[in-house]
Structure 1
């Protein structure tokens, strides 16, 4: 693909852009990259208190890991979601934010999107490493599933980058999109089984029955991110491989989103300087 050729030829630029993003996030702070852990820990404490102790939501124990710790179960879904939204939100505004650079000099515009994704992947990698250590310390055995989890992280990065490419082009022409996406992400968060187990949706679906053979749970599973969360929880919390159907869906979504995103981005990138 042309994108890989462009990135290989401009790998030094890509490295510099990525490091600029990584270092710029926490520049002149005492704790540096440790601040990347502050937000997920704060969210974990808030959501654990509200949904576990106030609303009494109790997901099933990990199968076969036997883990039964709400905070770990929560973070297996929350960290991938946070990474996805960070990549998409950051990528959506990266072209507009680098308008002067794009107008002054030619370089592969895709490097801006990929460097954004890699910088967030760096932070996410630290968070996931801490989560992995916590799972091991508290009784989980994810050793055999570390490599599949890394592959899954790469697939989610492709998926998020593809979505970011689509929205970055759209945001050049429709600047209201970035504000609209903020609302969509708030709604989408609760459409995912992050703070509640999917079993609650299945129970409600069974109660309501079907309409022309289609249940509420069937519609719920159309949410693409549902399958990523299920896969991450299977690997890290349950300590088992995801079902074949889940794996196929995740791979298809990742490659499909990236290919479509790149095709749209490549079609418009030559005219970005004029459009901006």
Structure 2
């Protein structure tokens, strides 16, 4: 089946998708005293730790933002919330088929719904976190409201990017369970290969150093990482107070479309024996 046929099938099952997403949202912090407050506490606690380590101890200097803003915590949150959403949506989506093995064995329904519902639930949390971040920026007298529509579009594109990865590896994870462990290791490397805890200028400055990295055009290779475009686009609008360059967004769009096509095709080819493998 083509991607249009698969999209139509998902749309026809939208009520089930809605229920599965609600199930994920309700079960995320079920049984905890603070409930959804954890979705804010976790990134804020991580931000506090990184701020102490990288801003105070290692003295990473954030760039000056709009209206002279010079705040490492705000600089960090723009990238950290974006990364946490992508990583969380990707990894929970990747494990969704294995986690719902009993449901898959009992009845037929579009298996993609399990992956999509996990990504959708993660997106709801991300949207709430970003809303709080917008309010924090407003409290610092930084008006990010004009950029909110474009920020939302970048967030949605990032959600599709995470879905594309999750679709591809969720079905592979059923057949090869070691993939989850490899992904965990890769995510650590990917995190530090993305300008989250440090400004991208640290990488750009390498270009003129004259060492081996300069000859390999390290910054050009570095920017092949699509998360660089996502993080920097969000940060440009919120922290720097200007529209992002169109090239990184266009690159992220092209990569996302290609990965979604590949991920959907891989899923379609391998989903037929899911019940047997689970």
TM-score category of the 2 structures, normalised to the smaller one: over 0.9
> Hey, what does 1:72 align to over in structure 2?
74
Match of 2:102 among 100, 103, 113: 100
Match of 1:32 among 22, 32, 35: 35
> Hey, what does 2:21 align to over in structure 1?
18
> Hey, what does 1:234 align to over in structure 2?
236
Q: How far off is 1:253 after superposition?
A: 2.1
Contact kept? 2:104, 2:275, Cα under 8 Å: yes
Contact kept? 1:52, 1:70, Cα under 8 Å: yes
Task: Return the TM-score normalized by structure 1.
Answer: 0.95
Q: How far off is 1:212 after superposition?
A: 9.6
> Hey, what does 1:207 align to over in structure 2?
209
* Counterparts of 2:68 and 2:231, CA distance in 1: 19
Q: How far off is 1:2 after superposition?
A: 2.1
Q: CA offsets, 1:52-99, max 9 Å, x none?
A: 01011112112x443211101101001010001101110111111111
Does residue 46 of structure 1 match 2:49? yes
Query: Structure 1 regions of 5+ residues with no counterpart?
Result: none
Query: Structure 2 regions of 5+ residues with no counterpart?
Result: none
* Counterparts of 2:68 and 2:250, CA distance in 1: 26
Q: How far off is 1:135 after superposition?
A: 0.7
**C-alpha RMSD of the superposition:** 1.5
Contact kept? 1:158, 1:257, Cα under 8 Å: no
> Hey, what does 2:199 align to over in structure 1?
197
Task: Return the TM-score normalized by structure 2.
Answer: 0.94
**Helix, strand or coil: the match of 2:68?**
coil
4+ residue runs of structure 1 moved beyond 3 angstroms?
A: 208-214
Match of 2:151 among 149, 174, 179: 149
Contact kept? 1:19, 1:119, Cα under 8 Å: yes
> Hey, what does 1:131 align to over in structure 2?
133
**Helix, strand or coil: the match of 1:153?**
helix
* Counterparts of 2:215 and 2:76, CA distance in 1: 32
